Amino acid sequence: MRELWATGWMHNRVRMITASFLVKDLLQPWQAGARWFWDTLVDADLAQNSLGWQWTSGCGADAAPYFRVFNPTTQGEKFDPKGDYIRRWCPELAKLPTQWIHQPEHAPAGVLQAAGVELGRDYPAPLLSHAAARLIALDAYAHLKTNP
């Protein structure tokens, strides 16, 4: 979100991870994210923005991937293995060893201290457990599927 605010742009992969987190982990309506992106993106396109958010939330014309819930940690590890993107946009984590850059909340206290990071002060503690949020989202989709 810092990149989007600073530049008006995000890579499509980051857009999908962000959208998935908002609508599936936080259970927020896709329209809220679509409005924010529409107002913030310099390359905003009404159809692409709206349909991308609908696709991610599983309610658009191609709703088949409704069960796909992006894991932000594994996406980061796969597409930013050295943590360069995180270090650029979250400079408070820049001194963390690569081993912990994607999961600072799991880093040992000494590693956090050496990097100058105090969770909840310098960088937010996790809002929720992705694993639990994923199950809640999938349960909600299953409920909708059986109780239209």
pLDDT at 103 (0 to 100)? 97
Q: 77 and 86 in contact (C-beta within 8 Å)? A: no
pLDDT at 93 (0 to 100)? 98
Number of residues assigned to the chain: 148
pLDDT 10s digits, 65-80? 788 999 999 999 999 9
Domains of the chain listed by start with CATH number: 2-68 (1.10.579.10), 81-139 (no CATH)
Above 90 in pLDDT, residue 59? no
Above 90 in pLDDT, residue 101? yes
Q: Is 144 left (phi over 0), alpha (psi -120 to 50) or beta?
A: alpha
Q: Choose the weakest-confidence range: 20-24, 60-64, 75-79.
A: 60-64
Mean pLDDT of the chain: 94
pLDDT 10s digits, 128-138? 999 999 999 99
pLDDT at 61 (0 to 100)? 78
